[in-house]
Amino acid sequence: METEVIDLSELMTEETIDLEMDATTKEEVISQLVDLLVQKGMVESKAQFIQDVYEREQGGATGIGNGIAIPHGKSDSVRQTAIAIGRTKTAVAWETLDDEPISTFILFAVSDKDKNNLHLKLLAKIAGSLANDYVCDTVKHANSPKKVIETLQEGSQ
């Protein structure tokens, strides 16, 4: 059995989570989430990474239903694979699998340079944990970034 303890701190911190975003459009959501990663030095070129995120958006809906979207981009403008999470005060128009309005966003920034496979494995586990309704609901309603991290951490075990 695997007994490896999953530690998400290399991918996300409380500083890359903003539960009170004032964004009202898809463009603003993506821009503000990317800013969080730029400020932490995870993303080098904001413009280039945003372009990569939009390229993926064109490939199909990143709204996973249940009021959550997981935009993502793989790019060499990402210094280290990381996650930014945001919640908007009002729902934002976004392509999704159901008709639920979306106000919770989990942005995956995947580095082409980061050869640390562990980061990608963690990302995969977090994506998988979103198949769990409890994890989704808690991330949607948690009242602190700390609680969001704890929930994803538990959900990924």
Partner 1 sequence: MKIIGVAACTAGVAHTYLAKEKLLNAAKEAGHQVKIETQGTIGTEDELTNQEIIEADAVIIAADISISGRDRFKEKKVIQIPTHIAMKSPKALMKKIEDELNATT
Residues in contact with partner 1 by CB under 8 A are 56, 59-62, 64-65, 70, 72-74, 97-98, 108, 110, 117, 120-121, 123-125, 127-132
Q: Which is nearer to partner 1, 61 or 93 (CB)?
A: 61
Contact 81, 11 (CB under 8 A): yes
Nearest approach in angstroms of CB 97 to partner 1 is 4
Q: Report CA Rg, the chain.
A: 14
Nearest approach in angstroms of CB 72 to partner 1 is 5
Nearest approach in angstroms of CB 113 to partner 1 is 13
In terms of phi and psi (left: phi > 0; alpha: psi -120 to 50; beta: otherwise), the region of 66 is left
Nearest approach in angstroms of CB 143 to partner 1 is 25
Q: Dihedrals φ, ψ of 132, to 5°? A: -95, 120
Q: Which is nearer to partner 1, 19 or 135 (CB)?
A: 135
Q: Which is nearer to partner 1, 32 or 62 (CB)?
A: 62
Q: Which is nearer to partner 1, 7 or 22 (CB)?
A: 7
Q: How many CA atoms lie within 13 A of 24 on its CB side?
A: 0
Contact 93, 25 (CB under 8 A): yes
Q: Dihedrals φ, ψ of 10, to 5°? A: -75, -20
